[in-house]
Every structure is written in structure tokens, then in C-alpha cells.
Amino acid sequence: MVEGWLSHLTEKSIRRGSFRNVPELRNAINGYVKACNGTARPWIWTKDAKKILDKIAQIKKLVEPVT
């Protein structure tokens, strides 16, 4: 989830910006964080832990070498 948020930060605030110094970049980042925090909502899991762990076990069987 962090990677997704950082990607949004990059795309919407940093990539097309022009910053003369670190404080300007920092201000752009802080502005984006304030905007995101103003519309924040909790993450709602769509699967229970057992389904997630079962899926991980299936994938693990596929990628681990048989001994």
C-alpha cells in the first residue's frame, strides 16, 4: 500500500514539478500529504486472513523447490 501511495505522490505532486531547492520540494510533498489526509478513509479488507494465508500457501508450493 505504501508503494501505491508513493506512486500517487510522484505522479500528482513531484514528477511534473520544478523545484529550485529542497524546501520547495518539501513544501510540495507536505501539501500533497495535507490534501490526502483531508480525504483519508480507513482501508477495508475484502478477504479474511484465512483466505489470504491459504493463497500464500498455494503460491509457496508452486515456487519452492521440492526436496
Query: What's the chain look like in SS3?
Result: CHHHHHHHHHHHHHCCCCCCCHHHHHHHHHHHHHHHHHCCCCCCCCCCHHHHHHHHHHHHHHHCCCC
Residue type, 19: F
pTM for this prediction: 0.55
Q: What is the pLDDT of residue 66?
A: 67
Which sequence spans correspond to the domains of the chain?
Answer: 2-63
pLDDT tens digits along 5-51: 889 889 888 888 889 999 999 999 999 999 888 888 887 878 888 99
Q: What is the pLDDT of residue 57?
A: 93
Q: Tell me what pLDDT residue 13 has.
A: 84
